[in-house]
Amino acid sequence: MSAQNLLLELGTEELPPKALRKLAQALYDNFAALLKKEDLSFEDIKWYATPRRLALYVTALIDKQPDKSLEIKGPAVKAAFNADGTPSKAAVGWAKSHGITVDEAQRLKTDKGEWLYIKTEKKGCLAVELIPELFRQALAALPIPKLMHWGAKRDEFVRPVHTLCMLYGSELIPGTILGVASSKTIRGHRFLGERTLDINCAEEYVEKLRTVGAVIADYDERKQLIAQQVTALAASINGKADLDDALLEEVTSLVENPHVYLASFEDRFLKVPAEALVYTMKGDQKYFPIYAADGKLLPKFAFVSNICPTDPSTLIAGNERVVRPRLADAEFFFNTDRKHNLEYFYDRLQTIVYQKDIGTMAERSCLCADLASYIANLIGADESLCRRASHLAKCDLATTLVTEFTDTQGIMGMHYAELDGEDPAVSRAIFEQYLPRFAGDIIPTEPVPMAVSLAEKAMILTAIFGINQLPKGDKDPYGLRRAAIGLIRIVIENKLNFSLIDVIAKCAELLGSRVKSKDTVSQVCDYIFNRLKAYYQDQGIGAEIFQAVLSVKPESLLDFDLRVKAVQQFKQLPEAVDLAAAYKRVSNILSKADNVSGSVNPELLQEPAEQQLVAHLATLKPQIDSCYQQGQYSQALSKLAELRADVDTFFEKVMVNAPDPALQHNRLLILQKLAAILSTTADISVLY
């Protein structure tokens, strides 16, 4: 059995840039899975993608499937023959489907009876015969939300298809996919190389496409080239480029042979807050902004072109001319907004409906101001500054600039508040109310921004749950998952200790009649704690540790976190397994007992083992209680480990269900005291 390299390329019109990597990766995953399913082994597989092609290169793909021995069981013998001994219809049909007669079938005897049976060899198919259908299936399974067809063809794909190349070594694999026949001819770069070129064997694909077609097929190579060129250009003017990965990915998906140039814009535009300029440069024009060493935006930007003229001055001037009107728009919107202070825009919020059952943005701001004031008292923030920040928090949504450049919300509010002379804590809170914006983003770390951000998140969670608009599946239009994770991170990472239940209850109280569900507070708290489970899983903390702490229902997220970290450490102790098993045993015994109440009677302690356990519990309890009061759960659980030997001896030497009722009750009371001390931090019985 021999092996050759396989090339598959589909040539198209320009593919959606934001989806190019996703499409290529999905094609790779789909085709690799299909090869394995068909038992076609290979050494490696790599995907290539440019705006006008999706390709796969499979190294050392075997030329045919291995032959297989098949053992096929048919109908039971008693059902395979009629009363007169002739084959039944079921037996005849089964035999015919496998190319034999009933007489040629073998017999298979088992403990459950006798069956018709055949053992046969299935010859493997040639790889070149299977590849077209496998490629067709892999393409059909791509995650394409909207298909299109073109011309008179009824075939559908994300973009019109022009070429198809399927090569096994140097052998052209015949076949038609999406209405295009396989050929050795593919397309090169639109302007820089040969418009069409022939690929004679799979091995020459990448280099011939590069040298003759002027196309860099390797996606990551193009991305690296762009990053290197942009970085070098920025360094040439003592600057640093904003190499935002999402922008870098999109630009990589727009060009087949990248060339980077440096361009400028007028200094006067720098009077506009940098974020607005950057938003239009990155979002509208796909340019890379450049910053000075002090972090200030320079009047320069880098752009990527798919062409490389001998004299690039016209190309540079054209891009400068294109960006100027967008920057002028930002300048105009900024100057229009600055005719008024930020407070001026508050009245406009009364006409912007946030959600019909909750009210306007102005009403939401009032609710958040009241809640931020409440939270301020819990975390030691300035109450008046929290109220002021919440009052102004959404005002920039009514400004001209944010209306046009929506991603600058919060940022422009911060700048406008600074220009108005608001307290710096107020300005920061207007921006930081939205933090964290994505996984791994920074969070507020100062009291006023923390209080405002927590109020925003707690209020939206309670309000939306209160009107029964819970997130379903992957649909979360109000960003409740992000709000819950943000709330968790702000509380835990800033070590804020307060009752989550009290805060959510305060939200419900402020919302008043807007809350339709009587279970809103418990639903919101449960939802946040469920998000907390995912938060810990991301840190590699097992679900059993989370569940152990959840069972004791802590009301404070910080307290919950301290317990989780303590249980995580406790689980590493050699005594942990035995104590967890003992607690489970204690819980089972107590669950079957009735009316266990009162205090342990020392006079009924007959066995040395029970005397020792009671004495040890009495000694440890004050120490453990002190640890609990100070939130030192790790120390408390470490002290519990000292009980292991006494607990083991107790169960070995003492009969809990003694014949004497008084003795039995006293021993149940010992177990009750033991259970209480073992379960205060967490339910350790669920750890194993």
DSSP collapsed to 3 states, 572-627? CCCCHHHHHHHHHHHHHHHHCCCCCCCCCCHHHCCCHHHHHHHHHHHHHHHHHHHH
Does 557 fall in a domain? no
Task: Of 531, 541, 580, give the one whose Cα is nearest residue 564.
Answer: 541
Strand blocks (E) in 138-264:
161-168, 171-172, 176-177, 180-181, 185-187, 196-198, 240-241, 259-264
Instruction: Write down the pLDDT at residue 334.
Output: 96
CATH number for the domain harbouring residue 607: 1.10.730.10
Instruction: Write down the pLDDT at residue 66.
Output: 84
What whole-number distance in Å separates Cα of residue 13 and Cα of residue 159? 6
Residue 127 half-sphere exposure, CB side, CA atoms within 13 Å? 27
Instruction: Write down the pLDDT at residue 127.
Output: 87
Q: What share of the chain is helix, strand, coil (3-state, %, to 5)?
A: 55, 15, 30
Does 488 fall in a domain? yes
Element (H, E) at 647: helix 644-653
Cα 166 to chain centroid, rounded:
36
What whole-number distance in Å separates Cα of residue 506 and Cα of residue 508? 5
Does 344 fall in a domain? no
| Residue pair 21/49 in contact by the 8 Å Cβ criterion | yes
Strand blocks (E) in 86-125:
106-110, 113-122
Cα 591 to chain centroid, rounded:
41
Does 159 fall in a domain? yes
Neighbour tally for 254: CB within 10 Å:
20
Instruction: Write down the pLDDT at residue 552.
Output: 86
Does 556 fall in a domain? no
What values do phi and psi take at 302, rounded to 5? -105, 140
Instruction: Write down the pLDDT at residue 24.
Output: 97
Helix (H, G, I), strand (E, B) or coil at 47: strand
Task: Of 427, 564, 441, give the one whose Cα is nearest residue 492.
Answer: 564
Helix (H, G, I), strand (E, B) or coil at 343: helix
Neighbour tally for 571: CB within 10 Å:
18
Residue 140 half-sphere exposure, CB side, CA atoms within 13 Å? 10
Burial (CB < 10 A; 0-12, 13-18, 19+), residue 618, is exposed
* Together in a domain, 682 and 621: yes
* Together in a domain, 25 and 161: yes
Instruction: Write down the pLDDT at residue 495.
Output: 95
Instruction: Write down the pLDDT at residue 77.
Output: 77
* Together in a domain, 656 and 669: yes
Task: Of 391, 432, 426, 388, give the one whose Cα is nearest residue 410.
Answer: 432
* Together in a domain, 185 and 312: no
* Together in a domain, 577 and 652: yes
* Together in a domain, 596 and 676: yes
Cα dist. 486→231, 435, 494 in Å?
33, 7, 12
* Together in a domain, 52 and 115: no
Helix (H, G, I), strand (E, B) or coil at 628: helix
Helix (H, G, I), strand (E, B) or coil at 213: coil
CATH number for the domain harbouring residue 151: 3.30.70
* Together in a domain, 179 and 133: yes
What values do phi and psi take at 559, rounded to 5? -60, -40
Could you state, in chain order, the average pLDDT of each consecutive group of 10 residues for the chain (688 residues)?
Answer: 92 95 96 93 96 96 83 78 81 80 78 79 83 95 89 87 95 94 95 92 95 96 97 96 95 97 96 94 94 95 94 95 94 95 95 91 95 96 97 96 92 96 97 93 96 97 91 83 95 96 95 89 93 91 91 91 91 85 85 84 89 90 87 86 88 88 88 86 84
Helix (H, G, I), strand (E, B) or coil at 63: coil
Cα dist. 672→442, 578, 598, 677 in Å?
46, 18, 10, 9
What whole-number distance in Å separates Cα of residue 322 and Cα of residue 303? 12
Neighbour tally for 518: CB within 10 Å:
10
* Together in a domain, 86 and 43: no
Peptide bond into 436 cis (omega under 30): yes
* Together in a domain, 528 and 399: yes
Task: State which residues form the domain around 607.
Answer: 565-687
Instruction: Write down the pLDDT at residue 559.
Output: 92
Maximal C-alpha separation, the chain = 105
CATH number for the domain harbouring residue 379: 1.10.3210
Question: What tokens appear for 363 in the block?
Answer: 């009403």
* Together in a domain, 283 and 332: yes
Neighbour tally for 608: CB within 10 Å:
11
Domains contained in the chain, number: 5
Does 281 fall in a domain? yes
- Per-residue b/e over 83-114, b at no fewer than 16 CB within 10 Å? eeeebeeebeebbeeeebebeebeebeeeeee
Instruction: Write down the pLDDT at residue 259.
Output: 97
Instruction: Write down the pLDDT at residue 489.
Output: 96
Does 604 fall in a domain? yes
Element (H, E) at 74: strand 68-76
| Residue pair 628/681 in contact by the 8 Å Cβ criterion | yes
Instruction: Write down the pLDDT at residue 190.
Output: 92
Helix (H, G, I), strand (E, B) or coil at 609: helix
Instruction: Write down the pLDDT at residue 441.
Output: 92
* Together in a domain, 584 and 637: yes
Instruction: Write down the pLDDT at residue 99.
Output: 75
What's the length of the chain? 688
Does 303 fall in a domain? yes
